[in-house]
Chains A and B, each alone.
Chain A
Amino acid sequence: MLSYVLAGLGLGSIYAIAAGSLVITYVASGIFNLAFAAMAYSVARFYYFLLVEEDWAIVPAAAVSLLVFAPALGMFLYAVLFRHLRLRSTLVKLMATVGLSVALPPLVNLWLEQPTDPTAPGLAPRPLATYDVFGSTINADQLTTYIGLVVVLVIGVGLLRFTNVGLKVRALVDSEALTSLSGTSPGKVSLGVWAASAMLAGLAGILIAPTAGLSVGSMTFLMSAAFAAVVAAKLRSLPLAVGVALLMGVATNVVQKYIDPSSEFGAAVVPSIPFAFMLLFLLFYAVRGQAGDLVAGGALDRAIATQGGDPTVVSAVAGGSNRRFLNPGVLAGVVIVGIVFMLPGQLDRFWSGLVAGGIALGIALLSYTLVTGEGGMVWLSQITFAGGGAVLAAELVRNWGWDPLVAVLVGAAFIVPVGVILGLLTIRLGNLYIALVTLTFGSLIQVLVFGRNPFYNFGSGQPMPRPAFADTNDDFAYLALGVFCVLAILIVNVRRSTAGLAMSAVRFSENGAKTLGISVVQTKVLVSGLATYTAAVGGGFIAMNAQSTLPDSFNPAVGLIWLAVLVTMGSRSIIAALIAGCLFVVMPQVFSTYVSSDYADVPVILFGLGALGLALHPEGVVAQTGNNIMKLFGRRKPPLGASVPPGSPGASGPSTGASDGPAPAPASRGEAATITAGGQA
């Protein structure tokens, strides 16, 4: 038993370092760093480069990686990204860190290339020494992990509690503005916090590499397990985060004493333990009504915010105000659909197949348009619903002899209750918790369902034929485009309907909506259900296009890239989903074919960087381009409301903000008018 506990403490220590770092950076910056695994991978990859590829000794390689490279990375990311995010809404913060998590690893691989050997050495010298502890054996890697945790805790707690630096960090947590007024530079303190956070991420990455491997996927999986401890700590309590992390590590290993991890059952249970922890704590907090997002900054910070309000608010305005049926956005959308319609006929079989795949993905991405664009919720499990739709449709075709198209359209309805239940469970949670729960749910389903036989089938999944009348790539592309258009019209109808108005109301002010008599639960369940159905239909089409369910295509890590590419194009724009789907599928192939296969990841980097740009342009490329075009026309003819109508009520009064963002939005009417021009297709 002791050997299981000791091994578990090793795993728990890595969880604890990750969880502790996430908590510290969250309370100090208000940002939950979903890119933690990407940062861990980047530093670990750099350490591997020095240690293995450049033949450095362990100590200098570790020192340069952890004391030079990691802090520099953290400070660079603070300078270009995190400093812009502090007073943004949870939605923008999450999207920006999702973008970073997508862009950073391929950027590092572009620089240092993919590691040749995924089993990287840790901080202990090779060959590994072993030690006898009360009759049980631990190796040097485990010992360095324990030491790593102790050092981090002693230095971290010591710094935070007993030093002037710690005092400044804690002051910054409460109010950046007041900290600034007291003579402390909030920028310098934040710079230090992010440098330290990157160091901890790097330490966790280096320590975890020997057991989990030097890959983004394995680190993402293990770090998302650490999210459980962060949730248990309600994102704020460092001791609780560390304690639960250690407990999870021990539980994960002790269970293996009683359940064979190589058995079918054990292989499902063991990796699920951290997620079970998370769900238990989430349910506990949700029932007690204690789960909510932390609002960064004090009243003064919000009062003096000068960015013109939260960009998500402004972004939303771009779509909400233009409900005329034939607005410029709709016309642009029709043109783009027309172009996509003509593509299959002009391309050879290979490329038209890619376009068909892109349209199929566009259908799935419409689910984000609903749940994130309309509902304002960050769901990271849409790809899981898509996978569910694909798997279920394939089962209906294979076992029940259903027509593939009917199986996809009807089978998707059976996935809806799953989304609705998830929606009901998360209704009382803040946006950040919703993101964590849905990501966890996706990871669980990946392990428990998609990764198991008969669904996995050595990665090829189950066969999923196309409908007989759309067997060729061209015909299938037209079918997919037809379904996309039908769903697009349905979504436009939702947006223009009373339900759409109610969704906007709930998104921006739950209290305001409640006092009008709108049921927040009903509205959110409606969004959840519609988005789940759309995702499942999209998954079915992706499977039909590939003629197989391809379970690895529905990994939550891939879902982050889906989301990144969609928000790059525009989370509220329907036509952006079509463009995003086509770009996601076609662009890597374009780079591989016409540039070099070495640059196949460049589109992913661009998508990630695009999502990073959300902090400045949350409306996305499509709406932004539309707005820019409309501004050109606007120079000739001022759009409605470009100036304050003389004598209109309150025209001279102070501005008021929207409740979705933390800052009162001192946007002028001119700003509001500018962003309404483009509309959303």
Chain B
Amino acid sequence: MSTALHATEGAARDTAAPRLEARGVTVRFGGLVANKEVDLAVGSQQIVGLVGPNGAGKSTLFAVLSGLLRPTAGQVFMDGEDVTGTSPQKRAARGLARTFQHPELFSSLTVREHLVLAYRMKNAKSRIWTDLVNFRGFASAPKAEDARVDELVDALQLGAIQHLPAAGLPLGSARLLEIARALAREPRVLLLDEPSSGLDVRETEEVAEVLKSVVRDHGVSVLMVEHDVELVLGMSDAVHVLDFGVKIAGGTPAEVRRDPAVRAAYLGEEIEKPDVQRAEAEIEQGELA
């Protein structure tokens, strides 16, 4: 895949504060605690992984971070500013983009139209109103828009399906489209919810390369929920582990790899067996003690 992606506006902007930060986020649904006092930070040009079993509260945390859900307690910060009460639209305007565990596509739009819309929401938002009076619906797309969309289509290898509607796309294509759409928004922080689900090994590797390139070359920060633990540990600068809504571990991939509780509870056979057995032994010893 080509990684010739444009530099994002404001990507060079760097602040001491994390690009995105959750402080003490708690979400309750009645008696169910989906997230309990979760702290997490995504720094500039960082890839941060978020792992945990089903029902751990990862998607809930994503909903809170992207503004689709208000936390019961706690705060969300972008570049040090409290955005807890702001709408998803305002967070998008600040440079937050995301994908979803179940792709949220616009069924009647073609693949290309998804990217066009995302691009315009970033670069020509007023066209929602002005197109109605200046009849630009009948005009050709601006060259810059076409060029940017073409780049993303090439980068995510969507060329063969770019004129097909999103309805009926296979899951793998839908995932790639969501990633492309998020990148078309030229984000500063990218939240990816299980980006490799539905992709084969080769596609997963290619997506990983694209993500690394946007982080390396254009300063995008990435927070990623992923069940492919090796992918997360291989790509991330930091990893956080959730269990039953509680953050039970956080640190570099190496630190998380070494964490016996995490290994025993979540990584299982993903890591070499002797390590797991050692971890289990440690836990057993701890329990005995």
Contacts and interface: CB of A to CB of B under 8 A. Distances in A.
Interface stretch (A108-116, A268-276, A313-321, A562-570): A313-321
Contacts of B163: 321, 640-641
A673 B137 CA distance: 24
Contact of A516 (B132, B160, B175, B185): B185
A333 to B, nearest CB: 15
Given A641-B163, A650-B198, A497 B108 contact: no
B106 A650 contact: no
Interface in B50-95: 66-68, 87-89, 91-93
Nearest to A314: B167
A517 B92 CA distance: 5
A515 B107 contact: no
Contacts, number: 218
Contact of B172 (A313, A526, A651): A651
Interface in A466-494: 492-494
Interface stretch (A74-82, A605-613, A653-661): A653-661
Interface stretch (B10-18, B109-117, B248-256): B109-117
Interface string A285-311: 000000000000000000000000100
A509 B104 CA distance: 6
B88 A313 contact: no
Interface in B90-141: 91-93, 96-98, 100, 102-110, 113, 116-118, 120-122, 124-125, 127-129, 131-132, 135-138
A504 B108 contact: yes
A149 interface: no
B277 to A, nearest CB: 35
B165 A320 contact: yes
A45 interface: no
Contacts of B175: 650
B264 to A, nearest CB: 29
B136 to A, nearest CB: 7
Given A309-B168, A320-B109, A514-B89, A653 B185 contact: no
Interface string A594-627: 0000000000000000000000000000000000
B48 interface: no
A164 interface: no
B14 to A, nearest CB: 23
A3 to B, nearest CB: 46
A519 B89 contact: yes
Chain A interface residue bracket vs B: 35 or more
Contacts of B174: 650, 656
A652 B200 contact: yes
Contacts of B170: 644, 650-656, 669
A470 B68 CA distance: 54
B168 A672 contact: yes
A656 B104 contact: no
B5 interface: no
Contacts of A457: none
A665 B166 CA distance: 11
Contacts of B3: none
B171 A498 contact: no
Contact of A509 (B106, B125, B173, B199): B106
Contacts of B160: 645, 647-648
Contacts of B116: 501
A498 B168 contact: no
Interface in B196-250: 198-200, 203
Nearest to A522: B128
Chain B interface residue bracket vs A: 35 or more
A508 B131 contact: no
A502 interface: yes
A255 interface: no
Nearest to A501: B117
B173 A516 contact: no
Contact of B138 (A493, A514, A669): A493
B193 to A, nearest CB: 11
B156 interface: yes
A316 B167 contact: yes
Contacts of B106: 501, 504-505, 507-509, 512-513, 658
B19 interface: no
Contacts of A516: 92, 97, 117-118, 121, 181, 185
A668 interface: yes
A500 interface: yes
A676 B169 CA distance: 13
Contact of A493 (B132, B158, B172, B200): B132
B157 interface: yes
A658 B174 CA distance: 10
Interface of A: 309, 313-314, 316-317, 319-321, 323, 325, 492-502, 504-505, 507-509, 511-519, 522-523, 526, 640-641, 644-645, 647-656, 658-660, 665, 667-669, 671-673, 676
Interface of B: 66-68, 87-89, 91-93, 96-98, 100, 102-110, 113, 116-118, 120-122, 124-125, 127-129, 131-132, 135-138, 156-158, 160-161, 163-176, 181, 185, 198-200, 203
Q: When A and B form their complex, which 4 residue pairs have the shortest distance between CB atoms, in order from nearest?
A: A650-B172, A320-B108, A512-B104, A496-B137
Given A313-B167, A509-B106, 5 more contacts: A496-B138, A500-B137, A508-B109, A518-B89, A658-B106
21 contacts: A317-B107, A320-B108, A321-B110, A323-B113, A494-B132, A496-B137, A501-B109, A511-B100, A512-B100, A515-B97, A517-B122, A641-B163, A644-B170, A650-B199, A651-B173, A652-B172, A654-B198, A655-B168, A656-B102, A656-B171, A665-B168
